[in-house]
Amino acid sequence: MSETSAQPAHVHAPPEGFWRKYVFSLDHKVIGKQYYALALVAVFTGMFLSWLMRIHLVWPAAKIPGLELMSKAGAPGGIMTPEYYLSLLTMHGTLMVFFVLTNAPFAAFGNYFLPIQVGAEDMAFPRFNMMSFWLTFLAWVVLMLAFVIPDGPPIAGWTEYTPLSAIGKDAGPGMQWGASLWGISIAIFCAASLLGALNFIATTLDLRTKGMTLMRMPLCTWAWFITSCIALLAFAVLLPACILLILDRHAGTSFFIPGGLVASDRLQPHSGGSPLLWQHLFWFFGHPEVYIAILPSMGIVSHILTNSMRKPLLSAKVVIYSMMSIGFLSYMVWGHHMFLSGMNPMSALAFSFPTLTITIPATILTLIWLGSLYGANIQINSASLFALGFISMFVSGGVSGFFLAQPSIDIYLHATYFVVGHFHMVMGVASLFGVFTGTYFWFPKMTGRYMNEGLGKLHFWITFIGTYCIFMPFHYLGLVGNIRRYQSFVDDFMAPYIPLHKFITIAALITGAAQFIFLYNLIYSRFWGKPAPENPWNATSLEWSIPSPPPWNNFGDKHPVVYHDPYQYGVKGSGGDFVMQDSPEPVTGNGD
């Protein structure tokens, strides 16, 4: 374990010319920024779609200006049709899960900082790295094409349950070509993610610099590494699943379609397939995907919170082992999405138990974060506010998982807004809080400039309170039995809850609007932000030992040598209360 590669990283020449420098770049830092930019476009698109859905839900007759331009058939006269609502819902979920929650915390930050944090010059396979980004980009283009084809985007939700997604145009609008584009897009995305995951794993294992033992890696690097291992196994299952789906749709196979189906008054020309097979394959990917989204943020928050606290976490080792356990257990729980799917009811118990067990490492992580705050000297800035907000959000989203992990309670809460509230909080918002934490913290390193703190704090307050206003009421709605994925509430049963839905919509509009503060801050600070020194946060890991922004080969011609773990805070160092990883000075004053 303690052996590290003394070999110099592969040496490549400095990039020359516009295309090699900024477009088809082999530099992991440029690729990281490309991922970030793509995630930014996707997250604003996804958010915009959620605005449209929320507005339509509470004001179904509202004419939304410009909506007709998006789709004439989907919004005649600017009023959304039921099927277009489902199209937007499908695209919102797909964009957010794949192109935001996988790309931003994992691919973007991981690409930029993992090589630097282990002391490498680049990723192990820079060409694969470039390929994985451009394949991801292609996947995004293919998905977005669904908006412009006459058929429109698919209406089967981001889970694309079969046979709805497999039988083609008889299933409804968007299911002829829209669903095919979805399948192709996600298949490409899987291939890209596999390449990325391999690269992360190889880089972590092979390119660590001298002295960088595994246990001396920063917690975010650990998180990216564990996430890569999860991604490698998860996307490797979704990729063939998507291919089988495409074959069912276009090659006449019947992997997911049983015989005797009559849809749109037509006996379907299929037999022998199983809809449950798709669900098993999809969720075998889908549940680990939740951890692909949240683990990097756990790592980022652990890493940055330590810096803000000016003292180490109670135990970085426990954090690492907890993240590993979560990663391991994430493969045994996919069936909890399928308690009511008709699979053997005995297996519900088998899936319920490991699901409840995940609570243990998740609780350990939470207690370590909370317990470490005790006696700290917490520095409040935009980054640490979001890190603290992450803990709050992770707890809130986590406890609702306790309900859904139990099959008996799932009989009632399954497919209600309770589920929507749960996963938005824990996998969506918490994960994005990790991304915001990382952005405010690492921006000076990536650009050489600070982000504006005032705007950052304003962004935090609106986002933090706003997301609670949006997603906490979702749980209440779930308790009264509000079903998800309905484009309107056509009965009296829901009438008393329309005001609550209106409150949620207004909160969503305000919280969404606050994200433009972030976007403005990002763009403004990139060009006109206050210049930042090399190590503005008095941080210890290797990225802070090199200039901001880092040169193309990270460490110049040197190979850093690492002497300490990355959490030497609250000690007597020559530069202050910290000792950097590559500083040979002995550490004193670290009582515990």
Residue list 228-267, contact with other proteins (CB under 8 A) = 257-265, 267
Measured from the CB atom, is 212 or 405 closer to other proteins? 405
Q: Please give the residues from 265 up to 284 whose contact with other proteins meets the rule CB under 8 A.
A: 265, 267, 273-276
Measured from the CB atom, is 98 or 386 closer to other proteins? 386
Q: Please give the residues from 119 up to 178 whose contact with other proteins meets the rule CB under 8 A.
A: 155-157, 161-164, 167, 170-173
Segment near other proteins (CB under 8 A); pick from 94-102, 242-250, 481-489, 536-544: 481-489
- Among 233, 356, 517, 587, contact with other proteins (rule: CB under 8 A): 356
How far is the C-alpha of 366 from the C-alpha of 47, rounded, in Å? 28
Query: DSSP secondary structure string, 421-481?
Result: HHHIIIIIIHHHHHHHHHHHHHHHHHHSBPPPHHHHHHHHHHHHHHHHHHHHHHHHHHHHT
Measured from the CB atom, is 370 or 523 closer to other proteins? 370
Segment near other proteins (CB under 8 A); pick from 14-22, 209-217, 295-303, 358-366: 358-366
Written in H, E and C, the secondary structure of 152-181 is CCCCCCCCCCCCCCCCHHHHCCCCCCHHHH
Task: Give the helix/strand (H/E) hosting 360.
Answer: helix 345-373
378 touching other proteins, by CB under 8 A: yes
Q: Please give the residues from 68 up to 127 whose contact with other proteins meets the rule CB under 8 A.
A: 81-83, 86
- At 454, list the tokens: 């005032």
345 touching other proteins, by CB under 8 A: yes
- Three-class SS of residue 541? coil
Task: Write the interaction track for other proteins spanning residues 383-412; mark x where CB under 8 A is met and - where it is not.
Answer: --x--x--xx--xx--xx-xx-xxxxx-xx
Q: Please give the residues from 289 up to 308 whose contact with other proteins meets the rule CB under 8 A.
A: none
Q: Which amino acid is at 16?
A: E
Measured from the CB atom, is 84 or 99 closer to other proteins? 84
570 touching other proteins, by CB under 8 A: yes
- Residue 308 Cα distances to 137, 379, 449, 525, angstroms: 35, 5, 19, 22
How far is the C-alpha of 443 from the C-alpha of 446, rounded, in Å? 5
Q: Please give the residues from 173 up to 232 whose contact with other proteins meets the rule CB under 8 A.
A: 173
Measured from the CB atom, is 196 or 397 closer to other proteins? 397
H-state helical runs in 207-274: 219-250
CB of 327 to other proteins, least distance (A): 17
Q: Are 333 and 351 in contact (CB under 8 A)?
A: yes
Measured from the CB atom, is 252 or 375 closer to other proteins? 375
561 touching other proteins, by CB under 8 A: no
The total number of residues shown for the chain amounts to 592
Q: Please give the residues from 489 up to 518 whose contact with other proteins meets the rule CB under 8 A.
A: 489-491, 493
367 touching other proteins, by CB under 8 A: yes
Measured from the CB atom, is 115 or 573 closer to other proteins? 573
How far is the C-alpha of 308 from the C-alpha of 295, rounded, in Å? 20
Q: Are 111 and 302 in contact (CB under 8 A)?
A: no
How far is the C-alpha of 261 from the C-alpha of 397, rounded, in Å? 39
Measured from the CB atom, is 23 or 411 closer to other proteins? 411
Measured from the CB atom, is 315 or 553 closer to other proteins? 315
457 touching other proteins, by CB under 8 A: yes
CB of 293 to other proteins, least distance (A): 21
Q: Which amino acid is at 552?
A: W
Segment near other proteins (CB under 8 A); pick from 294-302, 366-374, 432-440, 522-530: 366-374
Q: Are 161 and 278 in contact (CB under 8 A)?
A: yes
50 touching other proteins, by CB under 8 A: no
314 touching other proteins, by CB under 8 A: yes
**Residue whose tokens read 């002497």:** 563
**How many other C-beta atoms can be found within 10 angstroms of the C-beta atom of residue 20?**
16
CA-closest candidate to residue 98, choices 233, 226, 224, 238: 238
